[in-house]
């Protein structure tokens, strides 16, 4: 029997709102899920009834807060099959949980000659963290290959995981491919060689039953905001023996047992890893989120998501203008699908879908190396949760039907003819190999970024400009427009470009290719003023 989505949706008032005068379709759940009233009522109850610090005060409110906070550890431990609260550390998010393992265990355990194994589909929270630890310790870092069908090459895994391997770090579920990795098989292989395994459960714990003992995971990290809970709270599960051996990497109040001017000793588990005032309300609310999901049933959550993903993939298979990534629809996979529409940049598509009230995620999803392997600059990701329906997927499919037409309209009518012209006929879009300076540029509101390349002659005149960008069509067009307009101008023109693009589009901006000569030293000074990197 499927989920009663009508009843579930009533628990999420945000789903009743409109975006661009259209009912909201929220399909960005792999980034952050929405929060039901049962969870934020718990949050509100803490602040309105017993707001106090935990383990600090001998008064009623502090006692009540401490009991609720400790019970939250118990409930989260039970949610993932841990033995007790001592194995459940509250952190800020999955990233902090993984860093706790890296700096509490990895730095003190790893050395030259040791090896860390991870995969090509890892989130940056894992990949970058273990890059840094390998650099600090001298350990070797190895990557299990991803096959053409989006799964791990387990033959390659068996080659890489040998007696030198101290740690394997693997995503349980890929946040791009939707692949469900064989964690138990990897755990057995790791343990056979005397290593430990860290599981990134950010995409699995919220969406399917997870039992750390069945997986035989040594560590498991996950976040609250992806499982109907609040932001700012995550968890690290660790086998008790490993946590007892580890050193804390945050120090201060709460995590200590005894302090003198000469030395300190640490508190019991899990508190020795929770320095300072912890996220009390967030922890209590996260336990409420786990209770909410338990009431639905994690088997039902998994089945509902998988059914929506299969339905969406079946529809995409019938199209010739969309490519999706990861295992095919007849293979078990999670409830997220990353895809691209031919000829439409992901950022443009995300904006066009937003005009239909549909929220998706576009970009590299913190997996740049994986997107390099896929040979794409980014992708659009639709991710489903307990409140999503087939009707919402049908709305997404309808919006995709005219995405190409909308894109052309967006470029040629909504913005400016110049935008379309410069997008289709860019100026030096591959950058310059012999640039004098390079300047990184980013648009924080949408995540677009790129790099300008500037070549300057001895007189201070811009000989050539180019750019490198995997951003949306509009961003690429604007970069091309600026590169063309500024070529021939003096380097000093780069110090004040406010209003330049608007002026060019309005057709009333003065010619900047004026005769003005400066020396090479002034060229370098001008570059320094603009924080350009001398190449």
* Active site residues per annotation: 366
170: burial class by Cβ within 10 Å (0-12, 13-18, 19+)? buried
Query: Which has the closest alpha carbon to 323: 339, 301, 300?
Result: 339
Query: CA of 255: how far to CAs of 68, 90, 96, in Å?
Result: 19, 12, 16
CB burial class (10 A; 0-12, 13-18, 19+) of residue 307? Answer: middle
* DSSP line for 265-320: EEPSTTGGG--SS--HHHHHHHHHHHHHHHHH-HHHHHHHHHHHHHHHHHHHHT-S
**3-class SS of residue 336:** strand
The β-bridge relationship of strands 140-144 and 115-119 is parallel
The b/e string for 214-227 (b: 16+ C-beta within 10 A; e otherwise) is ebbbbbbbbbbbbb
Tokens 């579920």 identify what position? 173
- Cα dihedral 280→283→285→289 (10° resolution): 180
What kind and span of H or E run contains 141?
A: strand 140-144
- The 3 state secondary structure assigned to 155-220 is HHHHHHCCCCEEEEEEECECCCCCCECCHHHHHHHHHHCCCEEEEECCCCCCCCCCCHHHHCCCEE
Q: How far is CA 239 from CA 185, 220, 332, 371, 380, in A?
A: 18, 9, 29, 34, 37
Question: 516: buried, middle or exposed (CB in 10 Å: 19+, 13-18, 0-12)?
Answer: middle
Question: Residue 201 is encoded by which pair of tokens?
Answer: 């459960």
In terms of residues, how long is the chain?
535
List the structure tokens of 403: 């995405």
441 φ, ψ (degrees, to nearest 5): -135, 140
Give the whole-angstrom CA distance, residue 332 versus residue 342: 26
Q: What token pair was written down for 10?
A: 């009533």
- 95 near 224, Cβ under 8 Å? no
């Amino acid at each position: 029997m499927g989920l009663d989505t009508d009843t579930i949706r009533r628990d999420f008032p945000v789903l009743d709102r409109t975006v661009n005068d259209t009912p909201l379709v929220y399909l960005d759940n792999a980034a952050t899920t929405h929060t039901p009233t049962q969870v934020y009522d718990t949050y509100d109850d803490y602040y309105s009834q017993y707001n106090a610090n935990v383990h600090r005060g001998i008064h009623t409110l502090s006692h009540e807060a401490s009991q609720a906070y400790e019970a939250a550890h118990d409930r989260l431990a039970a949610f993932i099959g841990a033995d007790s609260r001592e194995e459940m550390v509250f952190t800020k998010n999955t990233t902090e949980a993984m860093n706790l393992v890296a700096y509490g265990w990895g730095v003190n355990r790893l050395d030259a000659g040791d090896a860390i194994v991870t995969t090509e589909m890892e989130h940056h929270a894992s990949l970058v963290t273990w890059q840094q630890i390998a650099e600090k310790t001298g350990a070797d870092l190895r990557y299990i290959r991803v096959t053409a069908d989006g799964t791990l090459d387990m033959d390659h895994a068996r080659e890489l995981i040998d007696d030198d391997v101290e740690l394997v770090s693997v995503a349980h579920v890929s946040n791009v491919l939707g692949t469900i990795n064989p964690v138990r098989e990897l755990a057995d292989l790791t343990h056979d060689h005397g290593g430990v395994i860290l599981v990134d459960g950010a995409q699995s714990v919220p969406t399917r039953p997870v039992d750390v003992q069945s997986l035989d995971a040594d560590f498991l990290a996950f976040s609250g905001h992806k499982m109907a809970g609040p932001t700012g709270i995550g968890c690290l599960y660790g086998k008790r023996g490993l946590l007892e051996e580890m050193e804390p990497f945050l120090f201060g109040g709460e995590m200590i047992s005894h302090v003198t001017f000469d030395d300190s000793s640490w508190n019991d588990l899990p508190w020795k890893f929770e320095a300072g005032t912890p996220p009390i309300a967030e922890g209590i609310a996260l336990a409420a989120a786990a209770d909410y999901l338990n009431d639905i049933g994690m088997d039902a959550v998994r089945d509902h998501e998988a059914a929506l993903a299969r339905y969406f993939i079946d529809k995409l298979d019938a199209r010739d203008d969309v490519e999706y990534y990861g295992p095919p629809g007849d293979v078990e996979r999670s409830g997220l699908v990353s895809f691209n529409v031919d000829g439409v940049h992901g950022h443009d598509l995300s904006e066009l879908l937003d005009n239909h009230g549909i929220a998706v995620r576009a970009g590299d999803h913190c997996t740049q190396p994986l997107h390099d392997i896929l040979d794409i600059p980014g992708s659009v990701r639709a991710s489903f949760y307990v409140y999503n329906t087939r009707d919402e997927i049908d709305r997404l499919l309808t919006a995709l039907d005219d995405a190409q037409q909308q894109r052309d309209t967006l470029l040629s009518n909504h913005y400016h003819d110049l935008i379309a012209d410069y997008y289709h006929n860019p100026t030096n879009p591959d950058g310059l190999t012999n640039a004098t300076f390079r300047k990184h540029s980013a648009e924080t509101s949408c995540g677009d970024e790129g790099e300008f390349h500037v070549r300057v002659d001895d007189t201070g005149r811009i000989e050539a400009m180019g750019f490198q960008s995997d951003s949306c069509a509009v961003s690429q067009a604007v970069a091309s427009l600026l590169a063309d307009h500024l070529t021939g101008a003096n380097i000093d023109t780069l110090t004040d470009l406010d209003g330049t693009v608007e002026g060019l589009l309005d057709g009333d901006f003065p010619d900047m290719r004026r005769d003005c000569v400066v020396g090479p030293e002034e060229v370098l000074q001008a570059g320094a003023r603009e924080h350009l990197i001398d190449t």
